[in-house]
Amino acid sequence: MSNERKVLVCVNQLHGREAPYLRRLEAAGFEVVQNKLGRLYREDELIAALDGVYATIAGGEPYTERVFASAPGLKVVARFGVGYDQVDVAAATRHGVVVAMAFGANHEAVADGAFALMAGIAGDLVNRHNLVRNGGWGSVFHKGLWRSTVGIIGLGRIGRAFARRCRGFDMRVLAYDIAPDAAYAAANGITLVGFEELLRQSDFVSLHAPHTRLTERMINASSLALMRPTAYLINTARGALVDEAALADALRNRRIAGAGIDAFWPEPPVGSPLLPLDNILMTPHSTGMDQTAEVAMCDRCIDSILAIADGKSPGAEYVLNPETLPR
């Protein structure tokens, strides 16, 4: 088999799993190669692994100008997820590489994870679990979710799915979005407000915005100062949205009550000032990785790879740089 028919599965969590969806690639004549490192590829490692590779099922490894220049046979980066801050899309376009996304495949899973983080940190579950494990008993009253106010920053697919879960707990739902859909908000019991007003009014602030120049460190010392001392921050979006030093300072000094964090900057968060704090609940950027989302995201990636290999479009709504598609 020609090595131009390789697909590299970069998502290290998929190695060693029963993955029947990958058989579709094999049936189409592709050799499937997997990342066996147990972590993300670094740039040099990715360049070495891309030798003779036609397409990748991409995790969070860096797709830089240097990577694309070093992999002339690469034609498709099919992203296992919805974020692409690690992909230089302009460089991909210059090198004729299609960047295909799995939009719509894991938003329900991320919303589940965000709600779980919110409930877990508000209920102080980790500390109470450890109390019982260590032979202790008793507790103090904790924050409830029912009829509290949640502020959602970013009302896209994930933000909307998260809002539905909050409405199920009879929560008052506020939202801020740079391009708000007023009709959708009105129809679904969501009140659109400004950024600062959302911070001031919310018991819980949940981030569901992409990482852009405008959103980078949008949660900083100034914005944290607007939040209530009884409020909680939830971030299942991108770590770059939060100034971690400022958040750590606010948590350490109880200027806000707590935080549930799934996304860090950088990742993994070695040496982060957040790690030793007792009023934070942390997960390893994994809220969107339930088993249903795994299959849906991989199927979407494989659909894109097979369509492009057959000279077809996988659907312009899934492609960041449609000018690279075969005509």
Residue range 191-220: mean pLDDT, rounded: 97
How high is the pLDDT of residue 83? 87
95: left (phi over 0), alpha (psi -120 to 50) or beta: alpha
Per-residue confidence (pLDDT) for residue 1, from 0 to 100: 36
3-state DSSP percent of the chain in helix, strand and coil, to 5: 40, 15, 45
Q: Is the pLDDT of residue 52 over 60?
A: yes
pLDDT at 4: 65
CA–CA dist 267, 269 (Å, integer): 5
User: Do 165 and 72 sit in the same domain of this protein?
Assistant: no
Question: Residue 318: which domain range?
Answer: 3-105+289-324
Q: How far apart are CA 23 and CA 7, in angstroms?
A: 12
Average pLDDT, the chain: 95
- Determine the Cα–Cα distance for residues 10 and 78; give it in Å rounded to an integer: 10
Give 146's pLDDT tier (boundaries 50, 70, 90): very high
pLDDT (average), residues 140-167: 96
Q: What is the pLDDT of residue 289?
A: 87
Element spanning 297, H or E:
helix 291-309
Task: Say how far apart CA 57 and CA 76 lie, in whole Å.
Answer: 9
The total number of structural domains in the chain stands at: 2
Active-site residues, by number, are 238, 267, 285
% the chain with pLDDT above 90: 93
Of 327, 308, 117, 297, nearest to 207 by C-alpha is 117
Same domain, 147 and 260: yes
Asked if residue 311 and residue 278 are part of one domain, the reply reads no
Confidence of residue 67 (pLDDT cuts 50, 70, 90): very high
* 21 and 93 part of one domain: yes
Mark whether 129 and 225 lie in a shared domain: yes
Look at residues 105, 89, 97, 99 and name the one whose alpha carbon lies nearest to residue 319.
Answer: 99
Pair of tokens at residue 139: 């507790």
Predicted TM-score of the model (pTM):
0.89
Considering the domain architecture, whether residues 129 and 84 belong to the same structural domain is answered as no
Find out whether 261 and 205 touch, Cβ atoms under 8 Å. Answer: no
Do residues 23 and 8 share a domain? yes
Q: Is 108 exposed, middle or buried (0-12, 13-18, 19+ CB in 10 A)?
A: buried
Band the pLDDT of 285: cuts 50, 70, 90: very high
Do 217 and 266 belong together in one domain?
A: yes
Q: How confident is the model at residue 305 (pLDDT cuts 50, 70, 90)?
A: very high
Q: Are residues 43 and 168 in the same domain?
A: no
Tell me what pLDDT residue 124 has: 94
The verdict on 152 and 215 lying in the same domain is yes
Helix H or strand E segment including 56: strand 53-58
- H or E stretch covering 186: helix 182-187
Q: What pLDDT, on the 0 to 100 scale, is given for residue 3? A: 44
The pLDDT value given to residue 140: 85
CATH number at residue 66: 3.40.50.720
Same-domain check for residues 137 and 246: yes
User: Quick one: 76 and 201 in the same domain?
Assistant: no
**What integer is the mean pLDDT of 269-294?**
95
